[in-house]
Amino acid sequence: MILLKGLTIGAEVKTRLNTRQFSSEPTTVLGKVEVEKEKQDDALADLSNLLGQLKDMAVDMGSEIERTR
């Protein structure tokens, strides 16, 4: 888990990965591909959320710098 001034990365991702359960392992190649696509979608969503949080932090930092000038 990485901590950055109020930003916690890892706990939410871990929780979501643990809550997504598949009823059974896919037996077909197509089923396995679909499972991997879902995992990639989850990872991309996490990355998108993280980038949004980092953007907000950067905007806040810029505002603070401008305020102190």
Predicted TM-score (pTM) of the model is 0.60
Domains of the chain by residue range: 2-68
Going from the C-alpha of 24 to that of each of 16, 27, 32, 47, 63, the distances in angstroms are 18, 9, 11, 27, 50
pLDDT at 56 over 80: yes
pLDDT at 1 over 50: no
pLDDT tens-digit series, residues 16-32: 555 566 567 889 999 99
pLDDT band at 6 (very low <50, low <70, confident <90, very high): low
Average pLDDT over residues 24-51: 96
Rounded Cα gap, residues 38 and 31, in angstroms:
11
